[in-house]
Structure 1
Amino acid sequence: MADIQAYTYDENYIYERPIIVDADNIPPNCTATEPPDGLWRGQYQPDKDEWIETATADDIQQIILTMTRSVSE
């Protein structure tokens, strides 16, 4: 069988990481639906088979601030 890239999510359906799986045996906490670029905290919606953004504007500002501090150190 062919391998494909799948995307894991946690118990709240929040994106974790990509993995390689057998196309005929995708684990229960994964989907073959790729998250779109630009999500800060993607959440998978299994009933719609799509990813949505769950980060608030404040969350995104905090992430950017943290990244900026890391780069400048």
Structure 2
Amino acid sequence: MPASADKIAKQAQDYSHAFSACENVDRCVGVTVWGFTDKYSFFFDKGYGEQQLWTKDFKPKPAVEAVDKVLK
């Protein structure tokens, strides 16, 4: 089941918040993500598995731009 536009937008917001939180904490040394593309997702149940920053076709999702804005 493909993710909806609302879920993709929420994902970008969630990644942005996570990276912003780390930037605002002196002792935070990084943010760990478990993979980078949905092609190799560790979730295999229907409706899950699109949590990564890039699509199954290795195209960046809006979350990539959101994280990039935080890190610049």
TM-score range, shorter chain: under 0.3
Higher alpha-carbon Rg: 1
TM-score scaled to structure 2, two decimals? 0.24
Higher helix share: 2
TM-score scaled to structure 1, two decimals? 0.24
Larger relative contact order (CA 8 Å, sep ≥ 6): 2
